Amino acid sequence: MAITIKNQHDIEKMRIAGRLGSEVLDFITPFVVHGVTTEQLDKLCHDYIVDVQKAVPAPLNYAPDGHTPYPKSICTSVNHQICHGVPGEKILKNGDIVNIDVTVIKDGYHGDTSRMFCVGDASIQAKRLCDITYDAMWLGIDKVKPGATLGDIGFAIQTFAEKSGYSVVREFCGHGIGKKFHEEPQVLHYGKPSTGLVLKAGLIFTIEPMINAGKREIKQMPDGWSIVTRDRSLSAQWEHTVLVTENGYEVLTLSAGSPAAPSFINV
């Protein structure tokens, strides 16, 4: 499958899908508290997407090659879970950090975004990991413009994460997105400047770094989906869907409740 350049119609539809994805995260925010189960969060998001947004939760029954169909509508990755945490009976407790990853399909187009949430008061270390990962995502986003390369994005994320004392997960990456959930290109969160695909206006892809407080190695759990840090260190992730514009970028997954961009971003 080739890389697709989106036309004006596609871009309009991707703006809508992106905003809806972000609005699911706005909606779920007040429910991410001590005592809630990740399954309850999944049900709340599922019903909001289907009944209120009249959209489709893309993860539900998603079955890429080599995987059993994903059984839930969102991913909830808690503490040392890196990504693809499957909602279940796990009860969130004070001090947990959790990534909620939402992908909605509206009119055939996908909007993919995730945020970190602290349950009650997280430790200073856990909060720092979430903050550094957020800034790492935005440093990557800030590289996006025609003529820049995917390597520029990966390099910005990797150097910042590693100089902060953290490691970058290598096995999962950002991705092109549109009518398909996962399209080319792969957007690595590590790399070398001036290498890889040269960006062009009309490309849409996600940037979604997974940063570990400890070593970068991962382990897949027996459920066939959940990925955890091999050393059980904490892991954080943030994700936006981004359009390459004529002179830079447009983040498509923003809404009223999106956290402010870091102060180094000029808006």
- Residues at the interface with Co ion (CB under 5 A): 101, 112, 206, 239
**Nearest residue to 107 (alpha-carbon basis) of 18, 239, 2, 3:** 18
Question: Residue 103, interface with ligand MF3 (CB under 6 A)?
Answer: yes
* Contact call for residue 42 and ligand MF3 (CB under 6 A): no
Q: Which does residue 62 touch among ligand MF3, Co ion, none (CB within 5 to 8 A, set by kind)? A: ligand MF3
- For Co ion, the closer CB: 96 or 112: 112
Select 60 or 198, whichever has its Cβ closest to ligand MF3.
60
Kindly tell me which residue out of 96, 101, 135, 183 binds ligand MF3, with binding defined by CB under 6 A. 101
Nearer to ligand MF3, 112 or 135 (CB): 112
For 176, phi and psi rounded to 5 degrees?
A: -60, 155
Size of the site for ligand MF3 (CB under 6 A): 12
Applying CB under 6 A, which of residues 84, 115, 189, 240 lies at the interface with ligand MF3? 84
Closest CA to 99 of 119, 114, 120: 114
Site for ligand MF3 in 228-267 (CB under 6 A): 239
Least distance in angstroms from the C-beta of 172 to ligand MF3: 8
152 interacts with, out of ligand MF3, Co ion, none, CB within 5 to 8 A per kind:
none
Q: How far apart are CA 214 and CA 216, in angstroms?
A: 7
Judged by beta carbon distances under 5 to 8 A according to partner kind, the member of ligand MF3, Co ion, none in contact with residue 143 is: none
CB of 99 vs ligand MF3, minimal distance in Å = 10
Residue 208 binds ligand MF3 (CB under 6 A):
yes
* Residues 53-82 close enough to bind ligand MF3 by CB under 6 A: 59, 62, 70, 75
Q: Based on CB atoms, which residue is closest to ligand MF3, 129 or 210?
A: 210
Q: Which among 119, 160, 118 has a CA at the least distance from the CA of 137?
A: 160
The contact set with ligand MF3 (CB under 6 A) reads: 59, 62, 70, 75, 84, 101, 103, 112, 206, 208, 225, 239
